[in-house]
Structure 1
Amino acid sequence: MTGAIELAQVSVVRSGARLLDGIDWTVREGERWIVLGPNGAGKTTLMQIAGAAGHPTSGTASILGQQLGTVDVFELRTRIGHTSLTVADQIPPAESVRDAVLSAAHGVTGRWREEYDGIDTAQADQIIGELGIAHLAQRTFGTLSEGERKRVLIARALMTDPEMIVLDEPAAGLDLGAREDLVSSLQNLASDESAPVLVLVTHHVEEIPPGFTHVLLLREGRVVAQGPIPTTLTAANLTATFGTELELSVSEGRYSARRVRYGRRAAR
C-alpha cells in the first residue's frame, strides 16, 4: 500500500541550522497520527513537508504518492486539507458558519455569485453535524469564540474532500472547555472510517483525541520514537523527548503527563 506520507532520510538545513535530521516516516491510509515534541523540535518544518509547502534539503519525500521535487506542488496541495489562522483571517466576519464551510467547495472565503447544488449543501450540513457545530450554523463567523472558529475551519477543510488533513496545534490558545470541545470533535472525526488521513501536531498529551492510532515523537529535529500509541507513548519516551523526567497516565483513552516528584526521583 502506498503511504500518504513517505519520508526517507529527510533532512532540512536552513541558514546553517539543521531543522530536521534523517527523518524516516511512513503514514498509511486509515491511520491517524500525533506528532509530539517540545518547541524547536522541528514539528512545523516537518508539517511543511507533509503539506507539500516545503522541500527537504536531502533525502526523499513522497506525499500522496507524489515525490516532492518532481511534481506540481500547487496541484498536490489541493489534495491536502489545512487549518490555519490565515484562512480564518480571510473569512468575512458577517459570513454565516454554514456559508463559511460551504464556500470551500469553490475555494473562496466569502460567498459572492457562485452557485451550489444540493450535493454541496447536503455535504456541508453533514460535516457541520458530525463535528458537533450544527447549533452554530446560522451564527456569523465574527461572533464565534476561538475554539468555535477552529472547529469551523476543520469543517471547511473537510468540505474539499481532501485525502489528508494536517492539523498544526489546533488547540493552541484555547481554554479548557474549548479544548475539550475540539478534542471531542476530533475524536468523532478519527472514528469515521471514511475520514481522510489525519496528522495532528501538539505539545501536550492531554490534547490527543481518542481514536488516533500512531505517534511520532521529535526532539531537536530527530525521531525519538514512532509507532502505535499504546506501545510508543510511554513515560520513558516522553522523558527522552522533553528532556525532563515525566510520568504518564491514561484514563478512558485520554492521556496526562506530569513531572516526577523529586522525592520519588530520589528514591529510584
Structure 2
Amino acid sequence: MFRHDGRVSDYDQDLLVDFRGVSFIRGGRTLVGPVDWQVELDERWVIIGPNGAGKTTLIRMASAEEFPSSGEAIIMGEKIGRTDMRDLRAMIGVSSSAIGNRIPVTEKVGDLVISAGYAILGRWREEYDTFDEERSEELLRQVGAWHVKDRTWGTLSEGERKRVLIARALMTNPELMILDEPGAGMDLGGREDLVAYLGELALDPDAPAIVMITHHVEEIPEGFTHAMILDEGKVIAQGLIDDVLNSDNLSRAFHQPIRVDRVAGRFFARRNTSEVEG
C-alpha cells in the first residue's frame, strides 16, 4: 500500500479511520473507549448518543485534532503519533460550531469558502486561481448558499452558516468529511432543507466518506449506511444502520424507553409512553 507521500504504508488504505482499542482519558476519567471502529471509503456514518456520551471527543481523534491516550489510531493509512497531523487534517473536511465560532463577523462568505484550500479562515492577500474561484462558487450553489456569497458571516442565519461551513469543508476535495451536529440550532424548515441536501451528498458515489454527529435520529438523511450509538464513552452498538438504530439500543443509551420508527427512509424516535405507563 502507498501513502499520500508516495511511501509504502503497512495499513489498509481503504480504511480512512481504523481505531483499535482506542481510548481518550483526561484527569483520570475515560471520556471515550476502548473503541474498535473502521470507516471505509464509501461509508456514511452517523454517531448518536446523549450529551456527554463522547461523540465529539471521538471525532476529534478521527479528524486528527486529538491524540488517543491508548490504543492504535490509523487515519488515511497513517498511524497517529508517527506522522505530521497537519498533513492528515488537509485530507479531512470538518464542519463544526467550533470552527464557526472562530470566524470574524466581518468575513465575506466567498472568501471564507475559497480560503479553506489554504488552511486559513478568510482571505488576506492571497491570489486565487480561476479553478479555485469556480469551485467555491459551485459548492455554494450545491449547498443552496449561492445567494449569500457576497454577504458577511455576521449577517447570516444559523441555517445559512451551516450551509457555508459544509461548502468550506468540501472545498479541499477531502477524502473524509466530518459533520458535528450540522442541524443544531436550525428551525424545522432549515433543518429539512439541510437533511435533503446531505441525503443527496450521501447518495453521490463521488462524495467523500461522511461521519456525522447528531442527538436526533430525525436529522439522519437517507443514504447513510452505518451507525454508532455511544453512552458514557462506551459503544452501545455499531454497524449497519438498520441493525443499530432500534428501540432497544436507543433505550439503553438514553436510559428511558424509546420507540424508533422508520417512515419513507427517515428515522423518528419518541418516548414510549405506553411502556412507561405499563
TM-score range, shorter chain: over 0.9
Instruction: Give the structure 1 partner of residue 257 of structure 2.
Output: 245
1:93–1:249 CA distance, 2 compared to 1 (3 A): same
| Alpha-carbon distance in 2 for matches of 1:72, 1:118 | 30
Q: TM-score when scaled to structure 1? A: 0.92
Question: In the comparison of the two structures, how many residue pairs are matched?
Answer: 266
Alignment of 1:105-254 (within 5 A): 105-254=117-266
Q: How far did 1:253 drift?
A: 1.5
Instruction: Give the structure 2 partner of residue 57 of structure 1.
Output: 69
Aligned residue for 1:150, secondary structure, equals helix
Contact 1:130 1:189 in 2 (8 A): no
1:21–1:186 CA distance, 2 compared to 1 (3 A): same
One-letter code of the match for 1:249?
A: D
- Pairwise CA RMSD of aligned residues? 1.8
| Alpha-carbon distance in 1 for matches of 2:256, 2:129 | 54
| Alpha-carbon distance in 2 for matches of 1:24, 1:236 | 21
| Alpha-carbon distance in 1 for matches of 2:33, 2:113 | 38
After TM superposition, the structure 1 stretch with the greater mean CA deviation from structure 2, 83-92 or 96-105, is: 83-92
1:11 equivalent to 2:19? Answer no
Q: How far did 1:202 drift?
A: 0.9
| Alpha-carbon distance in 2 for matches of 1:71, 1:163 | 17
Aligned residue for 2:15, secondary structure, equals coil
Q: Please list every run of 5 or more consecutive structure 2 residues that lacks an aligned counterpart in the other structure.
A: 1-11
Alignment of 1:31-50 (within 5 A): 31-50=43-62
1:12-32 Cα deviation digits (max 9, x unpaired): 221111112221111000111
Instruction: Give the structure 2 partner of residue 30 of structure 1.
Output: 42
1:165-188 Cα deviation digits (max 9, x unpaired): 111112222222222222122122
1:233–1:104 CA distance, 2 compared to 1 (3 A): same
Contact 1:98 1:137 in 2 (8 A): yes
1:109–1:56 CA distance, 2 compared to 1 (3 A): closer
Q: How far did 1:86 drift?
A: 4.1
1:6-48 Cα deviation digits (max 9, x unpaired): 1111122211111122211110001110001111111111111
| Alpha-carbon distance in 1 for matches of 2:187, 2:98 | 21
Identity %: 48
Contact 1:217 1:226 in 2 (8 A): yes
1:125-177 Cα deviation digits (max 9, x unpaired): 22112212223333332211011101101101111111111111122222222
Q: How far did 1:232 drift?
A: 1.8
| Alpha-carbon distance in 1 for matches of 2:151, 2:221 | 26
Q: How far did 1:93 drift?
A: 3.3
| Alpha-carbon distance in 1 for matches of 2:26, 2:104 | 36
Q: How far did 1:213 drift?
A: 1.0
Aligned residue for 2:131, secondary structure, equals helix
| Alpha-carbon distance in 1 for matches of 2:99, 2:51 | 24
Contact 1:151 1:185 in 2 (8 A): no
After TM superposition, the structure 1 stretch with the greater mean CA deviation from structure 2, 235-244 or 24-33, is: 235-244
1:178–1:67 CA distance, 2 compared to 1 (3 A): same
Aligned residue for 2:242, secondary structure, equals helix
| Alpha-carbon distance in 1 for matches of 2:265, 2:25 | 37
Aligned residue for 2:46, secondary structure, equals strand
One-letter code of the match for 2:247?
A: A
